[in-house]
Structures are given as C-alpha cells and as structure tokens.
Amino acid sequence: MKLAFQQTFPASPDKVLDLLRNEEFIADVAQHAGATAHDIRILGDRTELDMEIPTPGNVASVIGRTVKLTLTMRFSEPRADGSIPGNVDVRVPGMPVEADAVGLLTPEGADRTVGNYEGDLRVKIPLVGKKVEQQVQPFVISAFEGIERRANVWLTR
C-alpha cells in the first residue's frame, strides 16, 4: 500500500534535523506515543527508536495487545538550497509488517519547514495482508503526526 504524508514545522530544516537527532526529544516522542518501554540510539546521521506500544484496537486481535517496533530515521546534511533528504523506516520485529518512505525536509521561508514523505506499507500475511494494511495505515500516519505535534511543541519553546 502506498503511503504519503506531510509534516510542517515552525523552524528551519537544520533546526528540525537537530531535533530529530536529539535523544531527549525522541524519548518525549516515545512517551507521548504511549510506549511502555523504549531504547534510543543516535548514530551519526541515523536515529533509531525501539519501543513497545499498545496495539491499536483494530489490529489487536491479529497481532496482540502490544507491539514492538523500530523506527529509523536517516537524514543527510542540508543541500545548498537548504533542503534535507532522508529516509524513514518502520519495522515490527517478529511480524511481517514494514513501512518505508523517502522524505525531503524543505525550507519555506526562514522559519518554516515542510517534510514530504512517500513510501510503502507492506503486510506480508497471505490472504489478509491487504486488509491488515488498510487497518495499520492510519496508525502509521498517526505516529508521524505525533512526531510533528511533539516537534512543534519543542520548536516553539
């Protein structure tokens, strides 16, 4: 299933990038996502968040009450025009669910960034994979909206 989503931030792309590489910010994202446990690794251009979160009600009967997932964000350094290309991947260890997207953080004026992402969500379960993708897709989009909401709080402090 195709994924497309957009985020808007009240800061320049380089400030957004700094935030996405800030361990305290990523811990805040995990907390606000309802994570019962999390682990963060900032490795150069890569931010990794492992967390265990309550499963959305519409798929709990398929995958259980909680789900472990790994979110990996990799962003390059800013280009000459100020934009920053990157990739975002979500993996669910032990489950045939994965999502990945190519992203671009683009400046709009001095204090605004728009992040555009396009990618795919795949659930590899015979016969019901497409149905589960439809149920999981809003959850994936909601997770990225949560990152945007928390970033907007942090960037306007």
What local confidence, expressed as pLDDT, does residue 110 receive? Answer: 86
Rounded to an integer, what is the distance from CA 31 to the centroid of its chain? 14
Q: What are 95-138's pLDDT values in tens digits?
A: 788 899 999 999 998 899 999 999 998 888 777 777 777 777 77
pLDDT beyond 70 at 49:
yes
Overall average pLDDT of the 21-36 stretch: 95
The whole-angstrom separation of Cα 113 and Cα 126 is 40
The domains of the chain, with CATH numbers, are 2-155 (3.30.530.20)
The mean pLDDT of the chain is: 89
Q: In what order do the strands lie in the sheet with 84-91?
A: 2-9, 113-123, 97-107, 84-91, 66-75, 46-54, 37-43
Of 94 and 47, the structure prediction assigns the larger pLDDT to 47
145/140 Cα distance (integer angstroms): 9
